[in-house]
Amino acid sequence: MATLFGNGVVMDAFAVAFRIPNLSRKLFGEGALSTAFIPAFVREINDSGIESAWRLASALLTSLALALSGLVLIAELVLWCVSWLWNFGPETELLIGLTAVMLPYLVLICLAAQVSAVLHAVGHFTWPALLPVMLNIVWIAAIWLLAPLFSSPIQQVYALAGCIVATGIFQVVAPLPTLWRLGFRYDNHWHTTRQKVAGITRVMLPVLVGLSITQLNSLCDSLIAWGFSRPVEDSASSFLFGLIDYPLRSGTASALYFGQRMYQFPLGVFGVALGTVFFPLLSRHAERGDFHRLKDDLTLGLRLVIVIGLPASVGLALLAKPLTALLFQHGAFDSEDASQTAEMISAYAIGVWAYCGLLIVHRGYYAIGDRQTPLRTGVLAVLLNLSLNFTLMWKLGGRGLALSTAICAIVHVSASAWLLWNQHIRFEWSQLLRVAWRATVATATMSLVCLISLQQIDPQPDLPNRLLQVFVPMLFSVVTYLTAARLLRLDELWLLFSRQPKNDNLR
């Protein structure tokens, strides 16, 4: 996408238009639906048997399809009316058009997420992990094979938007044979479980808000970036009748989008996976009233977040420029775009450990049935992010938007962890502080080696030098961190490579 469009009007419109269906993918696909559904599904199996549980899954699938289809239909009508009643500039018309094309993906990806939640509930994780991969494979193939068939960037971006929606159909259908093999049968008498579906919905709504804070903050960043960027066709340097200068330049929304994709890489690979695996375990402990083991597992999850999230945050910030040049600076994406995007990556990277930590802490709340505290703290975090956005962007530009999201994540996870400890689960602060201290020393050592190795490589723009600028510091950094972790006895790091889910020696 960077090579094809660069940081500009077309990519800005796509980045903002894709936010709504992509936000739904993150909310449903990264745990909110599973968080509400899995405990109810397990309880249904224990109380009424597997057939009743399949009936509950059928009811939720049907209800979700009907509700979301109606919501998307209303949204499409609103977009059509807005476009018909008012004459907007080409940038706004492109945004409205792309949003209308990609809205149906919201229904498809949420249904795929519900199928994934059922698979999670019965202990199958392969297909849920592969569904996002499918989207990326089709997306990349469309850029290579379909986009060159069109001469206009506008036509190209609409073609790619259509491919994303088509992929959603495949994401819904592909896991169904596996679900059928595991025993699922669609039950036409789903209306008999309507009250239980309503209960899951009541549980899911506050969970959606609680788990979506980082994504909602990113959405706010993108909308503000698009709304406060200087239009390309506007040669003036101010808006609001010439009273205020535009604080952002065109391409900011694109740079934020690429920056978010980069910080979400460690979040998706590690944070989401850890939260997905730990939540059923925490839920079982809570159901049995075994709060001692719940405390131990929650503490272990947070320790794992520290030993991976902290070096990931620092490493991503240090390598932001060479990573951006290697991955994005091709075709329409020039050196100015690379510099703009690297600023976003380095700002977002500060909070990688906090984004991952929120996924664990919130699942601790949901395992014990507290859905209100994450909801309240989440609303406050969104308000804080908006305040920081409108404060920092005038001084720091687009980087201020990214930095505000990272700051909010750090404040949010710190406050949430303290409230969880103070109100519910007395997890081991002493263990966390000991691990944090050791990880900080190891990360500081890694950072020093990374900076020294970066200075030894000639910063030439050719591909071999770009590869060296990324992989040589990365290799030295990984080796340094692993060595320091071994010397400092950061045993949590080695647990990630163990086949055993628990190591009693780490308690």
Q: Where are the beta strands (DSSP E) in 79-206?
A: none
Domain locations in the chain as residue ranges: 1-210, 212-229+245-507
Local confidence band at 232 (pLDDT 50, 70, 90 cut-offs):
low
Most confident of 84-93, 181-190, 252-261: 252-261
> Is it the case that residue 95 has pLDDT exceeding 60?
yes
Residues facing residue 248 across a β-bridge = 229
- For 420-448, the pLDDT digits (tens) are 888 777 777 888 899 999 999 999 999 99
> Is it the case that residue 45 has pLDDT exceeding 50?
yes
What is the rounded distance in angstroms from the CA atom of residue 430 to the CA atom of residue 2? 45
Q: Measured between alpha carbons, how far is residue 26 from residues 49, 209, 232 in Å?
A: 31, 12, 31
Residue 447 in contact with residue 314, Cβ under 8 Å? Answer: yes
Percent of the chain at pLDDT above 70?
89
> Is it the case that residue 501 has pLDDT exceeding 60?
no
- For 371-420, the pLDDT digits (tens) are 788 888 888 988 999 999 999 998 898 899 999 999 999 999 999 888 98
What is the rounded distance in angstroms from the CA atom of residue 306 to the CA atom of residue 433? 10
Average pLDDT, the chain: 84
Predicted pLDDT of residue 54: 87
361-372: average pLDDT: 80
Nearest Cα to 175, choosing from 332, 61, 97? 61
Residue 482 in contact with residue 351, Cβ under 8 Å? Answer: no
- For 291-314, the pLDDT digits (tens) are 778 788 888 888 888 999 999 999
Going 461 to 310 to 374 to 272, the CA torsion angle's sign is positive
Instruction: List the helix and strand counts (H, then E) for the chain.
Output: 23, 2
Q: What is the DSSP letter of 269?
A: I
- Exposure of 97 in the CB half-sphere (CA atoms within 13 A): 15
Nearest Cα to 363, choosing from 406, 435, 420? 420
Query: Integer distance in angstroms from the first to the last C-alpha of the chain?
Result: 46
> Is it the case that residue 290 has pLDDT exceeding 80?
no
- Exposure of 488 in the CB half-sphere (CA atoms within 13 A): 22
26-55: average pLDDT: 74
The whole-model pTM stands at 0.79
130-152: average pLDDT: 91
Amino acid 284 reads R
Local confidence band at 341 (pLDDT 50, 70, 90 cut-offs):
very high
Amino acid 87 reads N
